[in-house]
Amino acid sequence: MEVEIKELLADLQSLNQSLLDPSLHASLHKIQSRVEHLANLAKAEPVRRSKVQDMSTEVVDSNPYSRLMALQRMGIVENYERIRDFSIAIVGVGGVGSVAAEMLTRCGIGRLLLYDYDKVELANMNRLFFRPDQVGMTKTDAAVETLSDINPDVVLESYTLNITTVEGFETFMSSLKNKSFSPSKEGSGVDLVLSCVDNYEARMAVNQACNELSQTWLESGVSEDAVSGHIQLLIPGETACFACAPPLVVASGVDERTLKREGVCAASLPTTMGVIAGLLVQNTLKFLLGFGQVSPYLGYNSLKDFFPTMQMKPNPQCSNVACLTRQEEYALAKPARDAAAKAKLDAEPQSTEEGPLHDDNEWNISIVDDCEPEGPDTRSSDVLPEGLTHELPSADEFQKLPTEAPVIDNDDLEDLRKQLEAINSA
Amino acid sequence: MEGWDPNTKSTLTQIPLLSTKAGPRDGALWTQRLKEEYKALITYTQMNKSNDNDWFRISASNPEGTRWTGKCWYVYNLLKYEFDLQFDIPITYPSTAPELELPQLDGKTHKMYRGGKICLTVHFKPLWAKNCPRFGIAHALCLGLAPWLAAEIPILVDSGMIKHKDDATTSSES
């Protein structure tokens, strides 16, 4: 580029000298100065912004946070700058996770922990965020490279591992527990875990970790045919965990039998993934900064632009032991919760006694509270709103043997291993 | 089990079912589960041999029994095609099935996820979910890997994506 510009300047010089018409000199000179300016631009290093000490509300071009801080002035968010205290773990840095990471980075989140074991491939280029020149890098490293350029204020941690393996899971757990970023924080070291993985196994691993740590998390997913997706809020003990019921999927709205499944395992679209990432981070911001309502479950059917929502209570017979422990704790904390709710109600200024809304009530119409009483509810997860179906069947009822003494297995593990080896080598 | 061939069905019924619901992080219970896994695998391998349908070798490659490696093979047009087979036991096992990997076929077929994990979503995952915790490694091989090989290997051979090892050596020698 520099050589080209130099030659262009030389050409202009000689043209200038050979020009006879003096009226053209002015415009030629203008072109020359433009080219010189271009040359300077080409020489300049790519601009890297320096870290920002405090988030300023000042509205100037050079303030990266001015439009975010405006949320405060508009009364949407009470204290936006709190976002710098929060840590978010993003599990899976693919089509949804990478975009969610970029959104949170641009929002000025305090710390991001990124988990993935994959590398960037050319086949990923139909999605957002990663660039062709990053092919071959691990997704976590490539993400850190881009994100730290976009916003150097964000603390980034990258973990290249598979959380479903015994080893990977241990590192995953200990990284979530690490509180060095905000030692005074209660609970784990992160404020929210975002699951942006593409398979059931990894979701169940996130579920396991969050149930054990009593960590609130948001699950997200895009269907394999790329036309629907969902996000779901999971609060251990309070809402259904991922193992409480078979995972929900948004029905595509077209006859499943007409879908071609032969030959491919997954399609993807940048649009669906972008929508889901947007919904996921929007609910993350609402959760962290305390505005609006966080959706317990929000589906997205792109073929019909239909957004089903629902709520799921935990299953008292959940197969996940940690989930049952969290459910017990939640039930035990009920008096404290009620007291807090009452205190909050009392603290609010009592509205002056309202008279009846309507003076006459010819038809004796009365409003009935349709909130279900709190307590274990086994039905809730079986009845699904329109547009949602289960992805997998429930486990068949495990035939329990009549209560006899448990069969004691006297076989030796090492003997069995040797037996298999013997058959294998026979 | 609709749509499965009678052979697979009758084989399946002869593999012992497991009863302990335990994963690699469950200590002594995992040891108990591992014993059941071995028993099912021993029975299944023996059965295959006596039926002249021997098609895999698998053994734990660490003492904890969380990583398994071996071989599997498929005979097509009287030629035997053999592949490395490996998988980890996930920490959420047996709620989730092991993800069976054939690393040598990575990138050669669409019916596979990265790293050579074979696609089990449609034909196997619902069965596994329905039969948790009674199915184990032996069942995953019988109902997950065997039908996958039977469906995919002929296509891979016919399309030239994989070559028989004798062909590969003769063509490289000539």
Using N-to-C axis directions, what is the helix angle for A321-332 and A200-213, rounded to 10°?
40
Q: Is A201 close to B125, i.e. CB distance below 8 A?
A: no
CA distance A276 to chain B (A): 22
Compute CA B115 distance to the chain's CA centroid, rounded to the nearest angstrom.
15
Choice among A106-110, A278-282, A340-344, B80-84 with the minimum mean pLDDT: A340-344
**Mean pLDDT for the stretch of residues A186-212:** 95
Please state, in angstroms and rounded to a whole number, the distance separating the CA atoms of residues A204 and A192.
Answer: 17
pLDDT at B170: 53
Asked if pLDDT for residue B97 goes beyond 80, the answer is: yes
C-alpha distances (whole Å) from B166 to each of A345, B57, B79, B149, B173 are 80, 21, 9, 20, 11
**Mean pLDDT for the stretch of residues A237-247:** 91
Domain ranges of chain B: 6-162
pLDDT at A403: 45
Which token pair is B148?
């996958």
The nearest alpha carbon in chain A to B71 belongs to A424
The nearest alpha carbon in chain A to B131 belongs to A395
Please state, in angstroms and rounded to a whole number, the distance separating the CA atoms of residues B98 and A357.
Answer: 62
Tens of pLDDT, residue by residue over A282-305, are 999 999 999 999 999 999 999 999
C-alpha distances (whole Å) from A354 to each of A262, A347, A358, A359, A369 are 64, 19, 11, 12, 19
Please state, in angstroms and rounded to a whole number, the distance separating the CA atoms of residues A91 and A116.
Answer: 7
3.40.50.1580, 3.30.750.24, 3.30.420.280, 3.10.110.10: CATH of B6-162:
3.10.110.10
Please state, in angstroms and rounded to a whole number, the distance separating the CA atoms of residues A132 and A114.
Answer: 20
Which B residues in the span 80-109 are in contact with A, Cβ-Cβ below 8 Å? 88-92, 95-97, 99
pLDDT band at A108 (very low <50, low <70, confident <90, very high): very high
Asked if pLDDT for residue A252 goes beyond 70, the answer is: no
- B134 to chain A: which residues are within 8 Å by CB? 398
pLDDT at A399: 53
**Mean pLDDT for the stretch of residues B104-116:** 87
- What dihedral angle (degrees, nearest 10) is formed by the CA atoms of A210, A214, A220, A225? 50
**Mean pLDDT for the stretch of residues B108-118:** 86
Tens of pLDDT, residue by residue over B2-58, are 677 888 888 888 999 999 999 999 999 999 999 999 999 999 999 999 999 999 999
Asked if pLDDT for residue A158 goes beyond 90, the answer is: yes
pLDDT at A149: 95
Percentage with pLDDT > 90 across chain A: 56
Which DSSP string do the residues of B78-144 spell out, in sequence order? TEEEEEEEEEE--TTTTTS----B-GGGTTT-SSEETTTEEP-TTTTHHHHHHTTTT--HHHHIIII
Question: Which residues neighbour B173 within 8 Å (Cβ) at sequence distance 6 or greater?
Answer: none
pLDDT at B5: 80
Tens of pLDDT, residue by residue over A26-79, are 888 888 888 888 888 777 666 788 888 888 888 888 889 999 998 998 999 999
pLDDT at A378: 43
Tens of pLDDT, residue by residue over A346-381, are 887 665 555 666 777 777 777 776 655 544 444 444
Contact of B62 with chain A, judged by CB distance below 8 Å, is answered with: no
Amino acid of residue A80: Y
Known catalytic membership, residue A323: no
pLDDT at A253: 62
CA distance B174 to chain A (A): 34
Which B residues in the span 115-134 are in contact with A, Cβ-Cβ below 8 Å? 119, 121-122, 125-126, 129-134
**Mean pLDDT for the stretch of residues A175-186:** 92
Of B57, B126, B132, the CB nearest to A424: B57
Backbone angles phi, psi at A187, to 5 degrees: 75, -140
CA distance B167 to chain A (A): 26
Please state, in angstroms and rounded to a whole number, the distance separating the CA atoms of residues A251 and A48.
Answer: 45
- Of residues A262 and A124, more confidently modeled: A124
Choice among A196, A244, A265, A318 that is catalytic? A265
Of B24, B64, B129, the CB nearest to A246: B129
- Of residues A391 and A242, more confidently modeled: A242
Of B59, B110, B129, the CB nearest to A421: B59
Asked if pLDDT for residue A142 goes beyond 90, the answer is: yes
CA distance B6 to chain A (A): 22
* Mean pLDDT over the full length of chain A: 86
Q: Is A417 close to B122, i.e. CB distance below 8 A?
A: no
Q: Is B66 close to A199, i.e. CB distance below 8 A?
A: no
pLDDT at A377: 44
pLDDT at A48: 80
Q: How many C-beta neighbours within 10 Å does residue A3 have? A: 7
The nearest alpha carbon in chain A to B113 belongs to A265
The nearest alpha carbon in chain B to A166 belongs to B91
pLDDT at B171: 46
Choice among A336-340, A379-383, A396-400, B139-143 with the minimum mean pLDDT: A379-383
**Mean pLDDT for the stretch of residues B96-125:** 89
CA distance B38 to chain A (A): 6
Angle at A73 between CA A62 and CA A275, to 5 degrees: 75
Chosen from A163, A201, A390 to mutate, greatest number of chain B CBs within 10 A: A201
Domain ranges of chain A: 1-43, 65-343
- Of residues A232 and B11, more confidently modeled: A232
CA distance A392 to chain B (A): 5
pLDDT band at B172 (very low <50, low <70, confident <90, very high): very low
- B25 to chain A: which residues are within 8 Å by CB? 166, 169
Go through A349-378 and write b for each residue having 16 or more CB atoms within 10 A of its CB, e for each that does not: eeeeeeeeeeeeeeeeeeeeeeeeeeeeee
Of B41, B70, B129, the CB nearest to A392: B129
- B46 to chain A: which residues are within 8 Å by CB? 423
* Mean pLDDT over the full length of chain B: 90
pTM, entire model: 0.81
Choice among B72, B119, B132, B142 that is catalytic? B119
Q: Is B38 close to A417, i.e. CB distance below 8 A?
A: yes
Q: Is A205 close to B92, i.e. CB distance below 8 A?
A: yes
pLDDT band at A8 (very low <50, low <70, confident <90, very high): confident
Which DSSP string do the residues of A16-55 spell out, in sequence order? HHH---GGGHHHHHHHHHHHHHHHHHHHSPPP-PPP-SS-
Q: Which CATH architecture best describes the domain A65-343? A: 3-Layer(aba) Sandwich (3.40)
Size of interface A-B (CB pairs under 8 A): 109
Helix (H) or strand (E) holding A209: helix A200-213
**Mean pLDDT for the stretch of residues A196-219:** 96
Q: Which residue has the tokens 């580029």?
A: A1
pLDDT at A30: 87
Q: Is A201 close to B96, i.e. CB distance below 8 A?
A: yes
pLDDT band at B134 (very low <50, low <70, confident <90, very high): very high
Q: Is B35 close to A169, i.e. CB distance below 8 A?
A: no
Q: Is A413 close to B134, i.e. CB distance below 8 A?
A: no
